[in-house]
Amino acid sequence: VAREIKASLVKFLDAIVYVDNDNDIHKYVRPQDWSAAWSSAASGNPENAWRILEWLLNNIAKVQAASIDNSAATPISNIASRLQTEQELEAFTRWLEANRVALGSAYNTGINGVAATRNNHAWTRNRAGEFASYFETGYVEEEISEGGNDGGDSGGGDSGGGDSGGGGGGSPDGASMATFSVITLIATLVATLIA
């Protein structure tokens, strides 16, 4: 099954960069369609990022020729954003370094993508306790440290309107923001774990 999936993905990738006539691709393929195709290829399952990278090793010139901006930045960005472990990020960074000249400006896209992915992973790790606490006890406002932040919230509720004395909840607006924040945290965690 894995071999069939890889073969199907290779056919899809080949179709993304297929150019019968150099002028036709830019006439019929909109930039957002190009980007959506690469995103779809990378998001199929966790292994696809590596499969795309393996394919890209032998097809950088085809990607650059078919691209509107003559760059492999779009697939490289999709690969970088879907790597899940530090080992994958390190291996991808080594590949970027080894292919820096061939990649041109897409090299910077890859390096920046790796940095963003590392930041996203760190953010998720730092918030794991919040998720566990929320699912065990519900929402409880607590002070969150952002690493190098000197000041920050003192935990005394929101700054507007004050507290009615009912136990540290703040205004209804604060509850709405807390709910929105929790939903955003959950969506980010799910996206990170699934992607």
Amino acid identity for residue 65 in this structure: A
CA distances 93 to 55, 64, 76, 115, 177, Å, are 17, 20, 11, 10, 38
Amino acid identity for residue 7 in this structure: A
- Identify whether the C-beta of residue 67 lies closer than 8 Å to the C-beta of residue 103: no
- Identify whether the C-beta of residue 163 lies closer than 8 Å to the C-beta of residue 170: yes
Using the predicted structure, report yes or no on whether residue 157 has a pLDDT greater than 60: no
pLDDT in tens, 13-48: 888 877 666 556 666 667 778 788 888 888 878 889
Q: What pTM was computed for the model?
A: 0.63
- Spans of all domains in the chain: 2-117, 120-148+166-194
**φ, ψ dihedrals at 166, nearest 5°:** -90, 20
Using the predicted structure, report yes or no on whether residue 118 has a pLDDT greater than 90: yes
Using the predicted structure, report yes or no on whether residue 1 has a pLDDT greater than 50: yes
- The predicted pLDDT at position 27 comes to 62
Percent of the chain scoring above 70 in pLDDT: 77
